Amino acid sequence: LFVSKNGVKQAMPLELQQKHQSNSFTPISEKHLSAFRSMLGVTHVLTENEQLIDYGHDWTEDLLFMPEVVLKPNSTQEVSQVMAYCHAQLIAVTPCGGRTGLSGGMLPVYGGVMLSLERMNRIIDIDTKSLQITVEPGVITQTIHEAVEAHGLMYPPDPSSKGSCMIGGNVAENAGGARAVKYGITREYVLALEVVLANGDVIHTGAKVLKNSTGYNLTHLIVGSEGTLGVVTQIVLKLVPKPALEYTLLVPFAKAVDACKAVSAVFQHGIVPSAIEFIEKDALDFGQQYLGMNTYDTTGIEAHLLINLDGNHEQVLVEQSEALAELFEHMGGGEMLFASSQAEKEALWKLRRCLGEAVKGTTIYKEEDTVVPRAELANLLSYIKQLGREHNFYSVCYGHAGDGNLHINIIKQNMSETEWKEMLPKAIEKLFQYVVQLGGTLSGEHGIGYVQQRYMPIAFSSVELELMRNIKGVFDPKGILNPGKILNPSLT
């Protein structure tokens, strides 16, 4: 078990080693590998060091935990066989999809088996009459978008990583995206699941229906449980008719706080955009630099709002655009840019979607996925800046403002390693305490995973955490499934 940074292997720091030593999982031996090879075929059992490094990280900071083996099952039955075997042998199993997560949900922190669902990437059925799609977990989210759009339909959730993330991971983390503000998050589209439990049992939750009051809602318990309660092997998703038209607008604000305030005003005026994103000046600058462009002048501009409106009637979108232009003018906004071509729209959204990578590529940072009631955005933004002055850090913010979901990037800059490590948890604790005080919570769409566990007691009482632990115990009494996630505040 190693931790490595930037591909350079190094022994896990002693402190972390001690924390992880408490586990009693079985190390994987040649005997186990033979068993896996006969279940899945030799080519689907990876043990080369480079392969293990590949599967040892996602997009979360620079963390890397080496799995002992990577398994690539191709069917529910194979997943079930692997789970039954690992359950009997007490081997840790961490499921993974596209490995684009931002909370380390798929990091194999106890080594063991990395169960990659990538080969289970079939679209099983598109029901164009009842507007549903049935997929395996390894389908890339954008592939679903394209497949259903060909039928005039839409699968709304669109995480920024949509070109690489897999639907199974979206379900595990309850992913959101820009369109969530109008259409809702992944949870709201999952109608039914096939799930392999820790012991290999296969269950089916939900049904192919739009409303369901039949027993406890296991579907919604699995969604967002980050692979700790079961391995999702099939997903039925709701679809909606695809709107024919989409407008994209960009509005500069001299004051970032005014941009935040304008967001809730939009909804108060009865307009529900299909996206309304907040982008701080430096985020836009980082993004332009990353893409090698210089299109948008941010001089004197603290923030932009990037807005999509969709619908089927040109006249309605024109009226809404005009109403927004007028509203923003009264709220401190500058001249509204109307993306007149498809290319311009796409360029703007490419810029928005690259912000995470752009910030990551520029500097060492820590990202928080805060979410608050929509109207508290301005307060949240003011607070993070104040906190930065107190703790001497610089921050760059952007996010799905219509949902009150602000991605806060705390940047290391020239801070010493010691100073950074000491400052960070204190500052984040204060930030989350404030967020919870505003009625918000720790994560809007990235999950708790590995890196946010220590902050869980800020959002939940010991009774609430105990309930969650007991639910975990119901699904996975031996604790072999994605161990070391969500509910281990002392681990990180």
Which positions from 78 through 97 interact with its own copies, judged by CB under 8 A? Answer: none
Decide whether 68 or 194 has the Cβ nearer to its own copies: 194
Contact 69, 114 (CB under 8 A): yes
Decide whether 323 or 424 has the Cβ nearer to its own copies: 323
**Contacts (CB under 8 A) with its own copies, residues 218-257:** 218, 220-221, 223-225, 229, 240-242, 244
Decide whether 214 or 299 has the Cβ nearer to its own copies: 214
Decide whether 58 or 173 has the Cβ nearer to its own copies: 173
**Contacts (CB under 8 A) with its own copies, residues 422-451:** 436, 439-448
Decide whether 328 or 432 has the Cβ nearer to its own copies: 432
Q: Pick from 26, 142, 212, 362 the residue near its own copies by CB under 8 A.
A: 212
Does position 490 interact with its own copies (CB under 8 A)? The reply is no
**Contacts (CB under 8 A) with its own copies, residues 108-147:** 127-132
Q: Pick from 19, 23, 246, 267 the residue near its own copies by CB under 8 A.
A: 267
Decide whether 312 or 392 has the Cβ nearer to its own copies: 312
Q: How far is the CB of 210 from its own copies (least distance, A)?
A: 5
Decide whether 66 or 380 has the Cβ nearer to its own copies: 380
Rounded to whole angstroms, the Cα distance separating 139 from 380 reads 36
Q: How far is the CB of 79 from its own copies (least distance, A)?
A: 15
Decide whether 36 or 183 has the Cβ nearer to its own copies: 183
Decide whether 189 or 365 has the Cβ nearer to its own copies: 189
Contact 484, 476 (CB under 8 A): no
Contact 179, 274 (CB under 8 A): yes
Q: How far is the CB of 283 from its own copies (least distance, A)?
A: 20
Rounded to whole angstroms, the Cα distance separating 398 from 278 reads 5
* Contacts with 325 (C-beta within 8 Å, 6 or more apart), sequence order: 336
Does position 347 interact with its own copies (CB under 8 A)? The reply is no
Do strands 69-71 and 113-116 pair parallel, antiparallel, or not at all (unpaired)? parallel
Q: How far is the CB of 261 from its own copies (least distance, A)?
A: 10
Contact 310, 224 (CB under 8 A): no
* Contacts with 395 (C-beta within 8 Å, 6 or more apart), sequence order: 384, 385, 388, 408, 409, 410, 411
Rounded to whole angstroms, the Cα distance separating 351 from 349 reads 5
Q: Pick from 30, 31, 50, 216 the residue near its own copies by CB under 8 A.
A: 216
**Contacts (CB under 8 A) with its own copies, residues 286-345:** 312-313, 315-316, 319
Based on its alpha-carbon atoms, the radius of gyration of the chain, rounded to whole angstroms, reads 23
**Contacts (CB under 8 A) with its own copies, residues 139-198:** 152, 173-176, 180-181, 184-185, 187-188, 197
Show the beta-strand stretches assigned E in 333-467.
337-338, 365-371, 394-400, 405-411
For residue 52, count CB atoms less than 10 angstroms from its CB and return exposed for 0-12, middle for 13-18, buried for 19 or more: buried
Do strands 93-96 and 113-116 pair parallel, antiparallel, or not at all (unpaired)? parallel
Q: How far is the CB of 212 from its own copies (least distance, A)?
A: 6
Rounded to whole angstroms, the Cα distance separating 455 from 465 reads 12
Stretch that binds its own copies, among 13-21, 56-64, 82-90, 371-379 (CB under 8 A): 371-379
Contact 121, 144 (CB under 8 A): no
Q: How far is the CB of 215 from its own copies (least distance, A)?
A: 6
Number of C-beta neighbours around residue 418 at 10 A:
8
Residue 263: C-alpha distances to residues 105, 134, 333, 373, 376 (Å): 31, 35, 11, 11, 10
Q: How far is the CB of 138 from its own copies (least distance, A)?
A: 21
Stretch that binds its own copies, among 62-70, 84-92, 201-209, 384-392 (CB under 8 A): 201-209
Residue type, 156: P
Q: How far is the CB of 221 from its own copies (least distance, A)?
A: 6
Q: How far is the CB of 416 from its own copies (least distance, A)?
A: 32
Between helix 281-291 and helix 342-353 the angle, nearest 10°, is 110
Number of C-beta neighbours around residue 152 at 10 A:
11
Does position 369 interact with its own copies (CB under 8 A)? The reply is yes
Decide whether 58 or 68 has the Cβ nearer to its own copies: 58
Residue 2: CA count within 13 A, CB half-sphere: 14
Residue 344: C-alpha distances to residues 93, 337, 339 (Å): 44, 11, 6
Total residues in contact with its own copies, by rule CB under 8 A: 95
- Looking up tokens 């305490």 gives 433
**Contacts (CB under 8 A) with its own copies, residues 374-433:** 374-376, 400, 403-405
Decide whether 127 or 285 has the Cβ nearer to its own copies: 127
Q: Pick from 42, 124, 150, 467 the residue near its own copies by CB under 8 A.
A: 467
Q: How far is the CB of 149 from its own copies (least distance, A)?
A: 13
Q: Pick from 21, 215, 343, 417 the residue near its own copies by CB under 8 A.
A: 215
Q: How far is the CB of 428 from its own copies (least distance, A)?
A: 14
* Contacts with 366 (C-beta within 8 Å, 6 or more apart), sequence order: 61, 409, 410, 424, 428
Decide whether 5 or 469 has the Cβ nearer to its own copies: 469
